[in-house]
């Protein structure tokens, strides 16, 4: 990287970039000259200071990011009385708060509904979006650009723009309000965001693979399933994860379609009513909150790589 310069004035600019190095890393001295030892010592000291500054900032910031989880957890195991006191550390550990949450009427139904919404939604979205993304990435046809523009426009649109007429259709024509089906069924017809992400990923697969499959007499659908799907696994995994998280976190959708029927509530939606019903029991609410957070965070730790890949895909490879 940088070579130490004899001049003290210039040496002062060095540390900032080499700061990443561990403090004990030695700089080779190339040009010894009278003033250089002092300059070097100063440079190394600045480097150490810089290392300390960067790492202590990171530690402080990490604390700020992690502490909310810690406080939520500590409160979730407090006694009812202590949870209202503003004390930070539990005097006695009430693990049974979690059992109480699970015994709350409806809580298990919310789990089941959330899982159904997230799993079916993800399955439908991936199956319906993949062929569309493949066509947009690899077929040449007139109107391809327009189609892509329309996909991106739908992706950008707030769901509230079309929600009123959509609700009327589901409620008045199909009598499906009070269930999650009005949210799940449309996912069998392609989701703009997933189509966009999958297309971005499929663009990175060289055309030659598809052409050679064609030469071997492989039909388009077979090419997609046998050649493309195995190669696009990371992209598909990322899209599936995003969709799973989207469904799991969705609040607006269940509020519109499932509000009247507590039997169809999801965890994300039910949590708020849980808080309302246990307005003073912060300990139970915090236990429920952690139980809503837990699945996504566990899924994340198992699929970290696919996830980060997906986030990068949205922004950087575009």
Under rule CB under 8 A, residue 111 binds other proteins: no
Binds other proteins by CB under 8 A, chosen from 30, 56, 157, 233: 157
DSSP state of 27: P
Binds other proteins by CB under 8 A, chosen from 22, 24, 31, 230: 22
Under rule CB under 8 A, residue 66 binds other proteins: yes
Under rule CB under 8 A, residue 40 binds other proteins: no
Segment contacting other proteins by CB under 8 A, of 36-44, 59-67, 115-123, 225-233: 59-67
Task: Let me know: does 134 contact 228? Beta carbons within 8 Å.
Answer: yes
Closest approach, Cβ 272 to other proteins, in A, equals 5
Binds other proteins by CB under 8 A, chosen from 107, 110, 134, 244: 134
List alpha helices for the chain, DSSP H: 8-11, 14-18, 36-76, 80-83, 96-103, 107-138, 144-156, 163-168, 181-184, 192-202, 207-215, 220-222, 229-231, 233-249, 252-258, 267-277, 282-302, 304-315
Under rule CB under 8 A, residue 99 binds other proteins: no
Under rule CB under 8 A, residue 285 binds other proteins: yes
Under rule CB under 8 A, residue 104 binds other proteins: no
Closest approach, Cβ 197 to other proteins, in A, equals 12
Closest approach, Cβ 306 to other proteins, in A, equals 13
Residues 192, 157: Cα–Cα separation, whole Å: 10
Binds other proteins by CB under 8 A, chosen from 32, 160, 206, 208: 160
Q: Which residues of 26-59 are buried (b: 16+ CB within 10 A; e: fewer)?
A: ebeeeeeeeebeebbeebbebbeebbeeeeeeee
């Amino acid at each position: 990287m940088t070579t130490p310069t004899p001049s003290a004035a210039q040496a002062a600019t060095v540390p900032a970039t080499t700061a990443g190095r561990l403090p004990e890393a030695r700089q080779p001295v190339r040009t010894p000259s009278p003033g250089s030892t002092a300059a070097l010592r100063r440079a190394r000291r600045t480097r150490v200071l810089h290392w300390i500054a960067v790492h202590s900032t990171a530690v402080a910031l990490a604390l700020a990011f992690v502490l909310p989880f810690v406080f939520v957890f500590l409160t979730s195991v407090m006694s009812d009385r202590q949870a209202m006191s503003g004390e930070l550390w539990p005097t006695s550990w009430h693990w049974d708060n979690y059992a109480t949450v699970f015994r709350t009427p409806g809580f298990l139904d919310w789990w089941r509904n959330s899982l159904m919404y997230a799993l079916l939604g993800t399955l439908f979205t991936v199956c319906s979006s993949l062929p569309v993304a493949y066509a947009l990435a690899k077929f040449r046809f007139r109107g391809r650009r327009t189609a892509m523009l329309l996909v991106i426009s739908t992706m950008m649109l707030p769901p509230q723009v079309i929600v009123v007429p959509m609700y009327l259709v589901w409620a008045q024509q199909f009598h499906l309000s009070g269930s999650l089906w009005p949210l799940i069924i449309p996912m069998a017809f392609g989701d703009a965001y997933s189509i966009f992400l999958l297309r971005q990923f499929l663009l990175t697969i060289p055309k030659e693979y598809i052409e050679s499959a064609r030469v071997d007499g492989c039909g388009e659908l077979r090419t997609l399933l046998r050649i493309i799907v195995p190669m696009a696994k990371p992209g598909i995994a990322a899209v599936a994860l995003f969709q799973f998280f989207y469904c799991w976190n969705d609040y607006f959708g269940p509020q519109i379609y499932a509000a009247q029927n507590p039997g169809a509530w999801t965890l994300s939606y039910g949590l708020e009513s849980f808080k309302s019903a246990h307005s003073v029991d912060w300990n139970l609410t915090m236990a429920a909150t952690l139980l809503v957070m837990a699945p996504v965070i566990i899924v994340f730790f198992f699929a970290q790589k696919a996830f980060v890949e997906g986030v990068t895909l949205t922004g950087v490879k575009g």
